[in-house]
Structure 1
Amino acid sequence: MFADALMYFRAGLAIDPNDVTITQELKMLQKVILKEQKEVSDSSSCAYSPLSLCNQAIYPGDDKLLVMEKEILEVKYHIMDDPFYTNEKDGQKKDQDLEVTLVQAAYECLSCDQQSEALTIISKAVDIDPSNIFYRTFRAQVYFNLRDWAKVIQDYWVIPKSQRKPDVWKQGGKALVELWLPVLAEFWFRKATQLSGGKDKEAAQLFQKVRVKRLYDPLTEDQPVYVEFTEFGRAVFAKRDINKGETVMTDLPMVIGQSLTSRHVPACYNCAVSLITPQIYFGKRLSGFDKDQRSLIEECWPNVDIIYCPHCNIETYCSKPCRLEAWDNYHSVICPHENPKGQLLYDLIKNDGYGYTKDGQWKELWGGHYSPMILVKIWAIIASSVKAQMVQGGSKVPTIEHWARAKAPFRRFIAYGTVPATTRMPHMLPLFQDLFANCGGGISYDITPEEFNGRFYQAACNLQCFSPSITPYHRFLDNIKEDMRSLGLIKHLTDRPPEAQFAAMCPLHACSNHSCYNNSEVCDAEIYGRPGVQMIACRDIKKNEEIFITYIDTMVPKLLRKAWLYKSFNFWCSCLRCQFEGDQPTECSHCLNKASEGKHFAACGKCKRAWYCGGKCQKEAWKKGHKVICNAPHSQLYEADGLEFAYNSGKRPVPPPGSA
């Protein structure tokens, strides 16, 4: 597994950046990736369909919203005030010849774009026969052209559901979107998709557009971005012009889990706040400080109260409210005091993913590149929500609706993977099944292989690494900046504090797409007093321009970059950099002509990342887009055994990227 191999290489280089063995193995990994992707062409399309990853299942509570929106149609838009419903169906004596004449005249007006005239004429036909489906459909189309959305629905409402064709459902859905009755619109688009046998991709796309808008508009109400569903799936766009250096958006995690490699650094299990103390930061040096220095530290280092779970004494929190919040949200389900099987989970984390199999073998049970606590928290949050609903409703047995409501928040995150997690980690499924067999309150959560695989890739596709951006160390520095006693401590404050690294699932961040020529960067942030993530514009962004981040280290060469993206995320990147950077010196980056054997084409004099067979190709490429990416900051490249390898400021190798 390339992502897992990368994780170990990164950990090794963090310990010893000059380790020759690791560097050589890393180069070999690069070659393997490139070899596997050599037959994948630039025309390769996405290996999955975004529409296939986003189902049209009804959200919990939509039945009540549907009733409410129908009432709005009746009261506000007077949908039921139609001759068809008011015993005026036979207002005129039927005259078939007249009806034919009216329809022909209406068609002629419509073909000449005389919408009002067409409406007047076809309305006479409707008055003669209010139940005629053809007349109603014709008039609805005219109303649609005139953007009279309520009248469109009024005519379509008359047509019995069993006789509405897919196009009727789709166009009615469009009108309902304009009236912003989203649940009704989803219902109509769903029917259009179903009746077309799933062949009407436009209807399916429109369904997802409505769903994304109603799910994400509340999250972006106070932010300069909005979320849209595009042909590539969910995407984030700018509501207005955003200047370089400005915050594009902030996002608080729904689920967090501390990385196994940083588990020794104290932090709040619930909110990720750093719990670094003077004893942890200064270590043995603390005992050698003089009285004034110790007094300064005691006065100015923020008070860090490490609060343990009073039941299991394992999880740590930054405050009593966080402890109580964790207990209600997830911990009561997995606390070893309440659920003895929870001890196996915490032992697994303590041992960096290693544990005993059921037959007594000591081996690596968890092989994921993030902590198993992420999956456990997702399931525990769902189970806790079900229990809370049962208490609120006075139920002794959980219902399907209880489970649906509890799982709904996690439907924002897509999941895609090729190798089942149960195949990669066969010993983890029994552990998870045992852990959630008894969630308390008389409920159990059946962790099926499908559930395990789905949640594993849901996390893998959406996680973002982050750390607390402001720690007690930073607050201490701020507190002592005007205190003369700090002069003697300066030499002891140069080391960075150990970082508590977390992975998080953030709903807005998860909608952001990749570009090797990204316009935003993900950074740590403090949001409402809690660690979170933010995106900062790394260049000016225009209104309605898509917000792009990077899923990988984009300092590596194009071929390796694209290979990693294809292998990890199943798409062949076609961003500006991938379009106008070259693959190799032996191929013209513009016309793709091959150089003579043993020869190289001349490189771009500025970026050295594109090669051309002549001045004509270079000028054409420059005009088409190379000039945009040519001056973008890149790393310096060196040759390493015939393979280009990126270095960061000439200091140490930057490993190739893995999963985001």
Structure 2
Amino acid sequence: MAKTSEALDVLAAEDMKAERFSDAISKYTELLEKVPGESVRWFCARGNGHLKKGSATEALEDGKKAKRLDETSVEACILCGRASSQLGFFVESLDYYKEGLKIDPKRKAITEDLKKLQKIILQDQEKQTTKEDSSYSAVTLCSQSIYPGDDQLLTMEKEILEVKYKILDDPAYSLQTPPKKRDAQLEGQLVQAAYEFFTAERLEEALELMSKLITLDPRNLFYRTFRAQIYFNMSQWPKVIQDYWVIPKAQRKAEIWKQGGKAFVELWLPVLAEFWLRKATQLSGGKDEEAAMLFQKVRVRRLYEPLTEDQPVQVDFTQFGRAVFAKEDIPAGETVMMDIPMVIAQSLSTRHIPACANCATSLISPEIYFEKKLNLMGKEQQELIEDHWPKVSEIWCEHCGKERYCSNICKNEAWEVYHRVICPRFNPGADTLYAVIEQGGFGYTADGKWDEVWKGHFSPMILVKIWANIASQVRTMMENDGVKEPTVEHWARAKAPYRRFIAFGTMPAMQRMPHALPMFQAAFADCGGGLSYKITEDEFNGRYYQAACNLQSFSCSITPYHHFMNNIKDDLRGIGVLKHLSDRPPEAQFAALCPLHACSNHSCLNNAEVCDLDINGRPGVQMIARRDIKKGEEIFITYIDTSMPKTLRKAWLFKSFNFWCQCKRCQFEGDTPSECTHCLKKAPEDKKFAACGKCKRAWYCGAACQKASWKNGHKIVCQTPHSQAVFDT
């Protein structure tokens, strides 16, 4: 058998050399069936055959199979990188190459592939740059739809108007009161005088005249609007609202709705403010950008103020969307913010490392950390580990045995929040879902073919938990209301928290992984309690890109290993264990949707960085100030490897996040030695301008441009250290 396999292996290699790729693939398939011992090498060989044949999907599948069998296989990393690049999955391709470089930093094939990937990323970059952000509008991307529960809040705010501010439809103040006998000439003179007082900022005198005019004609729209403007300039917000309130809605122009909305913001009656600003936007046909921007500022404050109440930051809405700002000075090294994930899921690549499915707490044992070295230790060392390694309890769902938790508290919490909806014991439709996760994204499709069902770079459990959480909340509301069918209000309330997360993508998720949607639909066809959650293609696409645009990776910062090291510091037996310690414990990597983190924008000159953190005994994330941050300054993190050259950074950001970076570093670093970074003058043919002597990332046509650029901002950029890039500059 061995001789036959060796001969077949030689023949397959000859087929590859002769470019008979179909024949080679057939032979490697036969080898994989006969002799699984060499499967890593043969999966890679067959995958390269698929790649040469132009079947990148099959090549990526073989590469992933090889990686699952041997995580240290550089050949598998290269195959996955090449296949991902051909499929247009550039971020995933770069990740595979980075993984390969960690295993073998000197592998020439990877560095050459990275150069090719760089060229692909930069293709058509100049053409795209000419329309940088020309079509982007943060305001138009954000909805002004009514939030669930706003009807009750609107009623409450109207009661506040009536009780606290005495604003109501008083018949004596109503526009229905017949006007008194009028003197048109006198009224004209009073209006002119009031206008002169107003422009001279003699507001009390202008107010007195306009109030007199309104007593003469309470129904006059111009008089009401003029007096409201005077009250507005005097910051008498209830008076502004009172004058606008009595004007019938049909007669309120867009400007009235907008100014009234501003007054409601000052009184912080946010639902009324949104209502009035929404009307202003609608009446202007969406052309009043100020009203639309104010609406989003109110909405963001409503959503995020409760989350930042005890933190030194606040969330605001800018021309680029939501952003985080410092409420006070934050010194370098201090915590900028802490964020507790709304949804977490363990990565498929680390699913073999035990951790709590509900809170991400590490559950590694001595057997997992020390591996084979544990059996080679002496009795004293083993007793030390037995005495000081924390007792880790793995508590599994007693119904399905598919999910592992760190405690009964987490198990019960997970059950109420999401697991009761997707537990396979009560929901057989979820069986396939858990099988695909256990198999690293692979499974059988509806037509019985073994394929990669899930192709996302995060676990499908992220989407599953979002949907399961929504369904679980709807079930609870149905039970509380004593109804058998969910209402539109039930669904809206349950989905509301996830409206915080933007979603943008160019390729429909269904196109990328057509077999995933039927799996999700089967898992949520029966959510228990007579509830069915119909996952549509639009829903799948939207949730997928919510995750893709907002996820943050993290891991448990304090593991049983860390407790063990702390426990043995005073035990002399610990000296004998030191030689068996690895650099770091195996980490169960998680992805998380964090509401505050998702509002943080990118800068290649970031002033904060994201770190893992233990928050109230549970893993979470925090941001740490990289330098002193002043009050009012925006908090920036990085979305990509910022050690790359400017042109490549901008191209990666555009391909990955659909925006062109305009941060200070991108403004004061150059694109190429053939163009002056400051004045954009082109160098003579076959010539290069002199580079900045310190950073080598900016080029100038002369000393004058270099000095001007240094003064304007290059000084800050130049003095900021950056790590070595994966790509050569």
Same fold (TM over 0.5): yes
Structure 1: which amino acid aligns with 2:505?
A: G
8 Å CA contact 1:53–1:415 kept in 2: the answer is no
**Deviation at 1:86?**
7.4
Over the aligned positions, Cα root-mean-square deviation in angstroms equals: 1.7
For 2:512, which of 416, 424, 432 is the aligned residue? Answer: 424
Q: After superposition, what is the alpha-carbon deviation per residue over 1:439-472, rounded to whole angstroms, capped at 9, x for unaligned?
A: 1111111111110111111111100111111111
Indicate which of 203, 220, 239 corresponds to 2:327. 239
Give 2:109's match in structure 1, choosing from 5, 21, 31. 21
Residues in 2 aligned to 1:67 and 1:636: alpha-carbon distance in whole angstroms: 58
CA contact (8 A) 1:47 1:570 kept: no
State the one-letter code of the partner of 2:223: Y
Residue 416 of structure 1: how far off its partner (Å): 0.7
Structure 2 match to 1:658: none
Once the 2 structures are TM-superposed, how far is the Cα of residue 196 of structure 1 from its aligned partner? 1.2
Counterpart Cα distance in 1 of 2:136 and 2:96:
28
Q: CA deviation at 1:46?
A: 5.8
Question: Does structure 1 residue 480 correspond to structure 2 residue 568?
Answer: yes
Select 2:311's aligned residue among 201, 223, 241.
223
After superposition, the Cα gap between the structure-2 partners of 1:569 and 1:541, relative to the gap in structure 1 and judged at 3 Å, is: same
Structure 1 position 90, deviation (Å): 5.6
CA–CA distance in structure 2, aligned partners of residues 617 and 105 of structure 1: 56
Alignment partners' CA distance in 1, 2:596 and 2:700: 41
**How far does residue 339 in structure 1 lie from its aligned partner after superposition?**
0.9
Q: Measure the CA separation in 2 of the matches of 1:17 and 1:427.
A: 36
Match of residue 665 from structure 2: 577
* Secondary structure in 2 matching 1:39: helix
Task: Report sequence identity in percent.
Answer: 66
So what's the TM-score if we normalise by structure 1?
Answer: 0.94
Conserved 8 A contact 2:175-2:219: no
Aligned to 1:377: 465
The residue aligned with 2:66 is none
CA distance in 2 between counterparts of 1:637 and 1:460 reads 24
Please point out which of 201, 215, 228 is paired with 1:127: 215
Q: 1:197 aligns with which of 260, 270, 285?
A: 285
Cα distance between partner residues in 2 of 1:32 and 1:449: 30
1:288 corresponds to:
376
Structure 2: distance between partners of 1:165 and 1:460? 41
Q: 1:636 to 1:450 in 2, by over 3 A?
A: closer
Please show how residues 65-84 of structure 1 align to structure 2 within 5 Å: 65-80=153-168, 84=172
Distance in structure 2 (CA, Å) of the matches to 1:83 and 1:113: 32
Are 1:445 and 2:528 matched, yes or no?
A: no
SS of residue matched to 2:132: coil
Name the counterpart of 1:641: none
Q: Following TM superposition, by how much is the alpha carbon of 1:91 offset from its aligned partner in structure 2, in angstroms?
A: 8.7
Matched, 1:168 2:256: yes
| Equivalent pair of 1:524/1:531 in contact (CA under 8 Å) | yes
2:457 counterpart letter in structure 1 = H
Structure 1 contact 335–342 (Cα < 8 Å) conserved: yes
Counterpart in the other structure of 1:301 = 389
Query: Hey, what does 1:366 align to over in structure 2?
Result: 454
Partner of 2:635: 547
Residue in structure 2 matching 1:109, options 169, 175, 197:
197
Q: Does 1:632 align with 2:720?
A: yes
| Greater helix content | 2
**Matched residue, 2:418:** 330
Task: Give the residue type in structure 1 aligned to 2:427.
Answer: N
Indicate how the Cα distance of structure 1 residues 253 and 87 shifts in structure 2: closer, same or farther if over 3 A, else same: closer
TM-superposed CA distance for 1:83, in Å, is 6.3
Q: What secondary structure is seen at the aligned counterpart in 1 of 2:344?
A: strand
Whether the aligned pair in 2 keeps the contact of 1:436 and 1:445 (CA below 8 Å) is yes
Q: For residue 392 of structure 1, what is the aligned residue in structure 2? A: 480
Shift of 1:236: 0.2
2:267 paired residue among 157, 179, 198: 179
Deviation of 1:422 after TM superposition, in Å, equals 0.7
The alpha-carbon distance between structure 1 residues 598 and 241, as it changes in their structure 2 partners (threshold 3 A), is same
Q: In structure 1, which of residues 253, 256, 270 is the aligned counterpart of residue 358 of structure 2? A: 270
Aligned AA (2:97): F
Counterpart selection for 2:728 from 633, 638, 645: 645
Shift of residue 504 of structure 1? 0.5
1:87 Cα shift?
10
- The amino acid of 1:606's aligned partner reads K
Equivalent position amino acid for 1:351 in 2: Q
Contact 2:345 2:590 (C-alpha < 8 Å) held by counterparts: yes
CA shift for structure 1 position 519 = 0.2
SS at match of 2:129: coil
Distance 1:99 1:526 in 2: 70
Q: Which amino acid aligns with 2:228?
A: A
Secondary structure of the residue aligned to 2:364 is coil
Are residues 1:51 and 2:134 paired? Answer: no
- The structure number with the bigger radius of gyration is 2
CA distance in 1, matches of 2:109, 2:683: 35
What is the identity, as a one-letter code, of the residue corresponding to 1:8?
A: Y
Comparing 347-356 with 498-507, greater Cα deviation is found at: 347-356
Q: How many Å separate the matches in 2 of 1:84 and 1:364? A: 73
1:493 paired with 2:581, answer yes
Q: 1:352 to 1:15 in 2, by over 3 A?
A: farther
Paired residue type of 2:142: C
| Aligned amino acid, residue 7 of structure 1 | D
Does 1:563 find its partner at 2:651? yes
Aligned counterpart in structure 2 of residue 147 of structure 1, from 216, 235, 257: 235
Question: Match of 2:75?
Answer: none
- Secondary structure, counterpart of 2:308 in structure 1: coil
**Corresponding letter in the other structure for 1:213:** R
Q: Check whether the contact 1:7–1:369 (CA below 8 A) recurs between aligned residues.
A: no
The answer on 1:352 being equivalent to 2:440 is yes
Give the gaps of 5 or more residues in structure 1.
639-643, 647-660
Deviation of 1:110 after TM superposition, in Å, equals 1.6
Do 1:89 and 1:127's aligned partners in 2 also have CA atoms closer than 8 Å? no
Q: Deviations over 1:302-347 (max 9, x none)?
A: 1210110101111100000100111111111111111112111111
Deviation at 1:130, TM superposition (A): 1.9
Q: Which residue is 1:406 aligned to?
A: 494
Separation in structure 1 between the aligned mates of residue 724 and residue 376 of structure 2, nearest angstrom = 44
Q: Could you say which residue in structure 2 is the equivalent of 1:597?
A: 685
Match of 2:603 among 487, 500, 515: 515
Distance 1:88 1:324 in 2: 61
8 Å contact from structure 1 (residues 224, 239) kept in 2: yes
Q: What is the alpha-carbon distance in structure 1 between the residues aligned to residue 517 and residue 187 of structure 2?
A: 68
In 1: Cα distance, 2:172 partner to 2:372 partner: 87
What letter is aligned with 1:235?
A
Report which stretch shifted further, 523-532 or 491-500. Answer: 491-500
Per-residue CA deviations over 1:509-561 (Å, capped at 9, x if unaligned) read: 00000000000001111111111110000011000000000000000111100
Contact 1:60 1:401 in 2 (8 A): yes
Amino acid at match of 1:140: A
Deviation by residue 1:366-399 (Cα, 9 ceiling, x = unmatched): 1111111111111111001100111122121111
- Once residues 618 and 592 of structure 1 are traced to their aligned partners in structure 2, the CA distance between those partners, rounded to angstroms, is 12
The answer to whether residue 596 in structure 2 is matched with residue 505 in structure 1 is no
Q: 1:150 offset after TM fit, Å?
A: 0.3
Instruction: Write the mapping of 1:4-43 to structure 2, written as runs, cut at 5 A.
Output: 4-41=92-129
Question: Partner residue of 1:653?
Answer: none
Size of the aligned set, in residue pairs, is 641
Task: Give the AA of the match of 2:585.
Answer: P
Report the AA paired with residue 700 of structure 2: Y
More deviation in 340-349 or 218-227?
340-349
Q: What is the SS of the residue equivalent to 1:526? A: strand
Task: Name the amino acid aligned to 2:646.
Answer: K
Contact between 2:673 and 2:688, CA under 8 Å: does it hold in 1? Answer: yes
Q: What is the CA-CA distance between 1:588 and the residue it aligns to?
A: 1.6
Q: What is the CA–CA distance in structure 1 between the aligned matches of 2:388 and 2:131, rounded to whole Å?
A: 60
Separation in 1, partners of 2:654, 2:135: 9
8 A contact 2:316–2:325 mirrored in 1: yes
Residue of 462, 474, 497 corresponding to 2:550: 462
Cα distance between partner residues in 2 of 1:569 and 1:126? 55
